[in-house]
């Protein structure tokens, strides 16, 4: 090596070391500017509400604003694709749900792949659904409803907030495991579906516990069962009649693939700290939600299992995107 080349190599080595040190500092200093949380669902729903809850507390603890930005459309694809194309620096996060794990099979030609273009940051919480029927339906228990549906194949129906949503997939899983033929009636949102079940235009619905419990107490619908594995009220679970049945709504945070692991770990630790707080648990319990806590590797495993579970149901039922 000539003497003339040595200063150049030293400069290059120094520049590389400086870049590495700067990158490490930027990660340890994260966040040093506002963070955007994209919610690919409409404002006012459970996903939006819990996104704002988490964003507020992350902002309080990390001393930078976490700003929620709703980007609904195309079954969550529009907002999700926006995050997939964002810089992998931790400053754009995705509020996601099991709609995303369903869409991996339901919408195969999306411009992104969940487990290839994103990294799991942390789950947030899960909520059971409530199976309700209009009071005119002559079934007061789940076994009676199943018997009624089997006696009327293709004659009964259930509402949902749209193809691929947790409400829809809860119904498809029920059909598959209970062996009943009931017709899916998709709506553009849960509000219209709920209204028509209360009005008797549709026979039944799987709906959020937080939303439907007050309606059931008013006698506008009849609640038959919850959809988790364990009882959370005096109602039985669907699984007590239909073995292996479980259908919940869960939420989590993801970031673009390539986001520094130090940033992912920092966000994961903060989310887990927030969901473990007694006041968080108390507030969410009243709403019918249960905090979820996993490290990034555990969350990735959970995501892969959920994709496989709902992929099998999508294929078995033959459902197509709207």
DSSP string, 270-321: HHHHHHTSHHHHHHHHHHTEEE----HHHHHHHHHHHHHHHHHHHHHHT---
Residue 167 near residue 160 (C-beta atoms within 8 A): yes
CB 105 within 8 A of CB 310: yes
Q: Is the pTM of this model over 0.85?
A: no
Q: Which domains does the chain have, with CATH numbers?
A: 31-126+249-317 (3.40.190.150), 128-240 (3.40.190.10)
The 3-state DSSP class for residue 222 equals strand
Structure-block tokens of residue 1: 């090596």
The candidate with the shortest Cα–Cα distance to 252, out of 118, 161, 130, 91, is 118
Q: Which two tokens stand for residue 275?
A: 């969901």
List the pLDDT tens digit at each of the 322 positions of the chain: 555 555 555 655 555 554 444 444 445 799 999 999 999 988 888 889 999 999 999 999 999 999 999 999 888 999 999 999 999 999 999 999 999 999 999 999 999 999 999 999 999 999 999 999 999 999 999 999 999 999 999 999 999 988 888 999 999 999 999 999 999 999 887 888 999 999 999 999 999 887 888 899 999 999 999 999 888 888 999 999 999 999 999 999 999 999 999 999 999 999 999 999 999 999 998 888 999 999 999 999 999 999 999 999 899 888 887 6
Pairing relation of β-strands 92-97 and 248-256?
A: antiparallel
Q: How far, in Å, are 138, 169, 186, 215 from residue 315 at the CA level?
A: 32, 12, 18, 33
> Measured between alpha carbons, how far is 102 from 310 in angstroms, rounded to an integer?
6
As a whole number of angstroms, the distance between CA 47 and CA 68 comes to: 11
């Amino acid at each position: 090596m000539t003497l003339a080349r040595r200063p150049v190599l030293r400069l290059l080595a120094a520049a590389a070391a400086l870049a590495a040190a700067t990158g490490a500092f930027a990660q340890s200093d994260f966040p040093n500017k506002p963070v955007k949380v994209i919610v690919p669902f409409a404002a006012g729903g459970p996903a939006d509400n819990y996104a704002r809850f988490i964003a507020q507390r992350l902002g309080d603890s990390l001393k930078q604003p976490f700003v929620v930005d709703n980007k609904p459309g195309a079954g969550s694809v529009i907002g999700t694709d926006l995050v997939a194309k964002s810089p992998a620096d931790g400053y754009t996060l995705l509020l996601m749900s099991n709609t995303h794990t369903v869409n991996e099979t339901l919408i195969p030609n999306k411009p992104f792949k969940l487990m290839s273009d994103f990294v799991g940051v942390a789950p947030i919480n899960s909520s059971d659904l409530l199976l309700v029927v209009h009071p005119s339906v002559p079934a007061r228990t789940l076994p009676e409803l199943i018997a009624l549906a089997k006696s009327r194949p293709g004659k009964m129906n259930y509402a949902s907030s749209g193809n691929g949503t947790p409400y829809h997939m809860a119904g498809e899983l029920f059909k598959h495991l209970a062996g009943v033929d009931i017709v899916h009636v998709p709506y553009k949102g849960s509000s219209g579906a709920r209204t028509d079940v209360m009005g008797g235009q549709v026979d039944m619905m799987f709906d959020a516990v937080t939303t439907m419990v007050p309606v059931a107490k008013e006698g506008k619908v009849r609640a038959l069962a919850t959809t988790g594995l364990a009882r959370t009220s005096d109602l039985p679970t669907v699984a007590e009649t239909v073995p292996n049945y479980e259908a919940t709504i869960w939420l989590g945070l993801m970031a673009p693939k390539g986001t520094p692991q130090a940033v992912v770990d920092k966000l994961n630790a903060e989310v887990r700290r927030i969901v473990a707080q007694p006041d968080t648990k108390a507030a969410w319990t009243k709403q019918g939600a249960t905090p979820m806590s996993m490290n990034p590797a555990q969350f990735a495993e959970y995501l892969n299992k959920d994709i496989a579970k709902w992929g099998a149901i999508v294929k078995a039922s033959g459902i197509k995107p709207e």
